[in-house]
Amino acid sequence: MTRLDDTVAHLARLIAFPTVSADSNLALIEDLAQRLSDLGARVEILRDPTGEKANLWATLGPEGDGGLILSGHTDVVPVTDQDWSSDPFTLRDEGDRLYGRGACDMKGFIAACLTAARDYAAMDLVRPVHFAFTHDEEVGCMGARALVPALAARGIRPAMALIGEPTSMQVIEGHKGCCEYTVRFQGQEGHGSAPDLGVNAAEYAARYAARLLALREDLIARTPEGSRFDPPWTTLNIGRIAGGSTHNVIAPRAEIDWEMRPVTWSDADFVNGVMRAYVEDILLPAMRAVAPDAAIETLVMGEVAGLDPSARNAMRDLAMRLTGANGAGLVPFGTEAGLFRTLELDVAICGPGSIEQAHKADEYVTRDQLAACLSLLQGLGRWLAGAAEGPVDRPLQSR
């Protein structure tokens, strides 16, 4: 079998694990751990507090600082209410396209890493390569938010990290942050014919939503000069509003799920400050004037920093050299890259598949994209073995 055939076989096996974020990923993690351990990797399975989810940290090559992290998340988004042409958890091979949930986001990259790991294990590496496969990226980067501080506490100091999110194998050097919130409204039920005697949680949720969306114009006005993002400003989106039961009942409870993609963290502080003041100064006093027990609770589902482009980025430069890219781009979607950047290493994003296929029915990755990823990983192997084509490890600096 060719290296590409091996990768497709790995992908078929990975897709067959239905690692939707709401469910456990342990079976997949254990499979990855066994395969890397069989290659001689030093492997750790790091479970979350529930014991039902886990990150995998595995290393080939010498001990010590420097080297490279190859990172991908193991969870996938649900397939509920999507019109798939075939079983989403069985690989469907149609020529160049390989269909299945997670094919591009991002089990294709993990499959390529498994093929590359076999190559690395046979090489005399002078720099370590670490495999970081995480849980729950799709619901707030929960796995990476636990893994990164654990690595920092151990004093593990790689030089670079490549995050294999689907970028059509384009090198990406920056993205916006991602903040996700659920706001819960507790009012007081009653008959719809006497609305003044109750506190309609659905109405207060609507007022909250209107105030939040009004901030879009403020965020456009706050666009940083020279912003390269598309769109260049911080965005807001309401994903869900729920509340009430029928026409003539005052809704006692309501919820809003919303997200923000900040260009700068000051925008996140601005939005959260405005909404906090609106709740405390306007909404809650009005609700509690009728029902003293009324409440508004904001749950932080995830606050993940963006990846700010840096003038000096050895990972970006090496990835560009190996792929032949003339430049590096930015993307609007979030990744775990900003979290890994807090380890004071250089980070870039580059992986097989298009984000246009992610999260949709009949998600797919192409063989050409997997082949391009394998080529990049081969080049990184040469650097790990000491080839002069890449940058040398440099002292890590705070920035």
Active-site residue numbers? Answer: 75, 137
DSSP assignments along 115-139, one per residue: HHHHHHHTS--SS-EEEEEES-STT
Torsion-angle region of 278 (φ positive above 0: left; ψ -120 to 50: alpha; else: beta):
alpha
Q: How far apart are CA 344 and CA 310, in angstroms?
A: 12
Judge whether 304 and 334 are in contact, CB under 8 Å: yes
CA-atom Rg of the chain in angstroms: 23
**The one-letter amino acid at 316:** R
188 near 291, Cβ under 8 Å?
Answer: yes
- The DSSP result for 49-117, as a single string, is TTSS-EEEEEEES-SSS--EEEEEE--B---TT---SS-TTS-EEETTEEESTTIIIIIHHHHHHHHHH
What's the CA gap between 137 and 223, in Å, rounded?
27
Candidates 308, 309, 306, 307; CA nearest to 261 is 306
* Residue 233 DSSP code: S
CA–CA distance, 144 with 147 (Å, rounded to integer): 5
Report the 3 state secondary structure along 101-115. CCHHHHHHHHHHHHH
> Residue 353 contacts by C-beta under 8 Å, 6 or more apart in sequence?
103, 104, 105, 106, 108, 166, 168, 364, 365, 366, 369
The phi, psi pair for 157, rounded to 5°, reads -130, 75
d(CA 316, CA 348): 5
Residue 281 is given by DSSP the state: I
